[in-house]
Amino acid sequence: MTVRALWLIPAALVFLVGPLAVPAYAANSVGCSGSASSFNDQGAPLDKVSVPGAGGTQSLPFRSMWNGDIAWQGQTDQTITSGTWRVSVQNASWLFALGELVSGHAHGLSGAFTNDQGQASWGNSFTPSTNEPVKLPGTYEVGFTVSGNGGAQCSGTLWVKVVDSPGRTPLWWLSLVLIVAALIMFFVFGVSKWTRPILT
């Protein structure tokens, strides 16, 4: 039994510590390059990142706000006339994956675009809250892919931090309710067995 228990220690270390070793790479891309700028909900500039570039790392993520605009511009190596785009969270934890399933975005956000003129330089802006009404503060590793119908492809990853205040968001209330419920259950089912001894 003791030997078996000793085997559990390295197994637990591999299971717990292994996934923590997330590579600390900067924003990267394949088949394209560009930059993105974020603005707060009053329209003031908040942050800027170049892809590929030194920013957009886990320790120095690209900061954005849920109700603020994100403007981007980029150049693809090949001309893209029409195709599809996809933005998704990489290496999502179990809870986030569950949330994606519940919200119906199991594979992230995606869409299609057409450009009859055909060009290699692009630019646009969007607001996260218009695509996903539930505010999700926190830090994410975001992956993006643009696939042209002619076979051209642009993909990349960067770390993004949604800097909105998490207080009184639906997730904040959910976590508060769960913590309070857990503490009550621990008191009722756990502490009571020490404070009220059973007669034998």
Contact footprint for another protein (CB under 8 A): 16, 19-20, 22, 58, 89-96, 136-141, 159, 161, 163, 166, 169, 171-172, 174-179, 181-183, 185-186, 188-190, 193-194, 197-200
Quote the tokens at residue 8. Answer: 């559990």
Q: How far is the CB of 135 from another protein (least distance, A)?
A: 9
Provide, rounded to whole angstroms, the least separation between the CB of residue 20 and another protein. Answer: 5
Alpha-carbon 72 to chain mean position? 18
Is the Cβ of residue 17 or residue 117 nearer to another protein in the bound state? 17
Q: Widest CA span of the chain, in angstroms? A: 86
Q: Which residue, 59 or 117, is less far from another protein as judged by CB?
A: 59
| 44/188 with CB nearer another protein | 188
Q: Of 54 and 178, which CB lies nearer to another protein in the complex structure?
A: 178
Strand 138-148 with 70-89, pairing: antiparallel
| Cα–Cα distance measured from residue 194 to residue 146, given in angstroms and rounded to the nearest whole number | 60
Nearer to another protein, 30 or 178 (CB): 178
Smallest distance, another protein to C-beta of residue 81, A: 33
Q: Which three-class secondary structure string do you get for 75-122?
A: EEEEEEEEEEEEEEECCCCHHHHHHHHHHCCCCCEEEEEEEEEEEEEE
Q: How far is the CB of 28 from another protein (least distance, A)?
A: 15
Nearest approach, Cβ of 157 to another protein (angstroms)?
10
| Sign of the dihedral through C-alpha 126, 132, 138, 143 | negative
Tell me how many degrees the CA angle 116-129-28 measures, rounded to the nearest 5: 65
